[in-house]
Amino acid sequence: MMDFQNGRINLAEDLCIGPDYSFDDFKKTPYYNQQDGIRVIYLEGEKVIDGINYAVSLMFMCEKIYLISLLCCNETFTHKTERERKKLHDEILKKYGITNRKEFTWGTVSSDYNPKGDISSIHITYKHR
């Protein structure tokens, strides 16, 4: 479940991330596999959120959650069609009332395409307090 009003994202039954989530919290989960919390953490296997399959990565900054990156895996895309995934992400966010980018008190939700890396993803970025 994605609750954008509060910034809480249920990535799995045993992994709910919100604005105050810390790297120490992550270490207590079965998803912790000696990662260092400095580099991007790629969660193993696809995670189903609100009926949609995603590849999920996490980034921490100063021991607090900074970014959740979601890549929809319900369809297959190639380098030539990767921009279509951006459109799919836009449609997903539209169902939550978000068009391209939205600011919240806790952070930002956006659908982004990186032409340099040729990848599209939904970014949930948390403000640091």
pLDDT digits (tens, 9 = 90+) for 27-69: 999 999 999 888 999 999 999 999 999 999 999 999 999 999 9
Instruction: Give residue 88's pLDDT band: very low, low, confident or very high (50, 70, 90).
Output: very high
Burial class (CB in 10 A: 0-12, 13-18, 19+), 53: middle
Among residues 107, 84, 91, 117, the alpha carbon closest in space to that of 7 is found at 107
Is the pTM higher than 0.95? The answer reads no
65 pairs with which residues across the strands? Answer: 60
